[in-house]
Amino acid sequence: MMSKTTPILLGLALVGGAGQVLADWTDARCDIYPKGEDQASAMVPCTFSQRQGAVTITLEGGTVYDLRPVGDEPGNYEDQDGEAAYRNSGLGDQGLIFRMAEESVYVYWNTDALDPQDDEDN
Minimum mean pLDDT among 17-21, 79-83, 118-122: which range?
17-21
**81: CATH:** 2.40.128.20
For residue 97, what are the domain limits?
A: 24-111
44 falls within a domain:
yes
How many domains in the chain? 1
* Residues sharing a CB contact under 8 Å with residue 114, sequence separation 6 or more, in sequence order: 29, 43, 44, 45
pTM: 0.76
75 falls within a domain:
yes
Residue 112, exposed/middle/buried by CB under 10 A (0-12, 13-18, 19+)? exposed
pLDDT greater than 60 at residue 119? no
* Residues sharing a CB contact under 8 Å with residue 26, sequence separation 6 or more, in sequence order: 47, 48, 109
Mean pLDDT, rounded, of the chain? 84
Q: Which pLDDT tens digit goes with each residue over 73-109? A: 999 999 999 999 999 999 999 999 999 999 999 999 9
d(CA 80, CA 96): 19
68: left (phi over 0), alpha (psi -120 to 50) or beta: beta
102 falls within a domain:
yes
89 falls within a domain:
yes
**Cα 66 to chain center, whole Å?**
8
